[in-house]
Structure 1
């Protein structure tokens, strides 16, 4: 067995120490919020640094899940994320697939027209007027329909489609399959790594989207969880957690409630990652190796 040199051992040790430090720096904010959400309020105000709670208290989570506003916003976020991700993936795939066909009339012009939107936009005021004229103000559709196509995701998916052997399509055509049959029966099943990766990016973006509802959703019943969380953390709007008249319980649980809401907003997306992980590594390498 080949022995490792002293310089190699030193490099390995330094590399391990560096990666451990990066892991600690990355995970500590998450751990700090988690600990802050399960410790009693009296303990949380004693010091700003808590590695482990002396007492575990789930009262903040009970308080959060008992509030209709937060639970309703959680359901809104789930609906917008699932429907929006499926819708955007389908539109992106349907747009990317024809653009790999050399015989598509005006293919280059269409592609350049789509790429143009990556660098130039109409601005916020024309965009708002467009949404208003489409009657999507105060509608959940405003978080789904306008975000139908991401140019970047389309280009990535187009590159992946180009790596699929064209012989598969040619043999399917010889068997009498049309473009729609080829697309749904061959192209999409072979593109699961790319679709899973892009779908994850879309889902995270939809889940964390607070800017769109801030502009277009005046009805608080339609607010997603990200918007409610923003209102709690930034505006400190205690009406969101007030069950009636102001009571001291809300003050005593203020910080722990905020931490609990943050955890509730983060955990659903974290749960999704293990199911996407097996496709993620292959998906992020899209276009790096040509077949």
Structure 2
């Protein structure tokens, strides 16, 4: 078997494996979508697989007909955008100085950062702190405690360290300050890492549920995940639920759960393809001239 034939076999096997992986990843999501679009009878009989049976939009009507649900969706979008922006600003401002070997106490700071990855005060001390700071029932209780993720910070520090120091030295010779070097050189070369960490921060905040359950009691400040949780719990306690501007329609809790999952997942699925181009772009392409 020559090299050309071997390459064809290799490409064919890789294609088959990738298709299998694609099917395995898509099947659970398609199953959830199918349940959300099916009527009660096929769901109860277990006939729904990856295609909906007896198409029904009642679950989505129930989820989206509530004006409070739309308010929670808008609040979650704004919260996620604000949270991601502040987290990236803080992470970048912390990571860049920690790449400087001349920074006094750099090792101590790194040890403290790593320490927080393994040890924490726990939920009760954290709640007491948030309450004493008068952050309960404010969006800041969902932002400030999670402002910097130490693991993501270490990832960004490692990425910054991979950028050639000659670029920074050239900028310093041209009279650039540390802040100017960060803005004009480091950040443009770090877009793949910044986009990736931004997505991680956004997904963590979007899917965040426990902190809002602890700190938010005002219905007007319910994020989407907490609102969906309450809706599902109510649907499990009773077969009927009255929502604003909608008639009472009997809906199976499984269908309502599936529709809630789709509604909560769709915004992240929309954002991901836009950031995908940064993941595959060349990090240092064209940055150093030989």
Structural mapping, 1:170-249, within 5 Å:
170-234=169-233, 236=236, 242-243=242-243, 248-249=248-249
**Larger CA deviation: 39-48 vs 191-200:** 39-48
Q: How many residue pairs get matched?
A: 280
Where do 5+ consecutive residues of structure 2 fail to align? 284-290
Deviations 1:142-192, CA, capped at 9 Å, x for gaps: 111111111111110001111112222222222222111111222111110
Deviation of residue 106 (structure 1)? 1.1
Deviation of residue 85 (structure 1)? 0.6
Counterpart of 1:288 in structure 2 is none
Counterpart of 2:157 in structure 1 is 158
Counterpart of 1:34 in structure 2 is 33
- Matched position secondary structure for 1:252: coil
Counterpart of 2:46 in structure 1 is 47
Counterpart of 1:268 in structure 2 is 267
Any conservation in 1 of the 2:65–2:243 contact (CA below 8 Å)? no
Deviation of residue 201 (structure 1)? 0.6
| Superposed CA RMSD | 2.9
Q: Within 2, Cα distance between the matches of 1:32 and 1:98? A: 47
Deviations 1:63-109, CA, capped at 9 Å, x for gaps: 32221121111112101111101110110110010011111111111
1:164–1:19 CA distance, 2 compared to 1 (3 A): closer
Counterpart of 1:60 in structure 2 is 59
Any conservation in 1 of the 2:135–2:141 contact (CA below 8 Å)? yes
Counterpart of 1:117 in structure 2 is 116
Deviation of residue 15 (structure 1)? 5.8
**Larger CA deviation: 222-231 vs 127-136:** 222-231
Deviation of residue 22 (structure 1)? 3.5
TM-score relative to the length of structure 2? 0.85
Counterpart of 2:287 in structure 1 is none
Counterpart of 2:140 in structure 1 is 141
Q: Within 1, Cα distance between the matches of 2:73 and 2:282? A: 29
Q: Within 2, Cα distance between the matches of 1:281 and 1:230? A: 36
Counterpart of 1:4 in structure 2 is 5
Any conservation in 1 of the 2:242–2:248 contact (CA below 8 Å)? no
Deviation of residue 141 (structure 1)? 0.7
Q: Within 1, Cα distance between the matches of 2:117 and 2:14? A: 38
- Matched position secondary structure for 2:144: coil
- Matched position secondary structure for 2:114: helix
1:70–1:159 CA distance, 2 compared to 1 (3 A): same
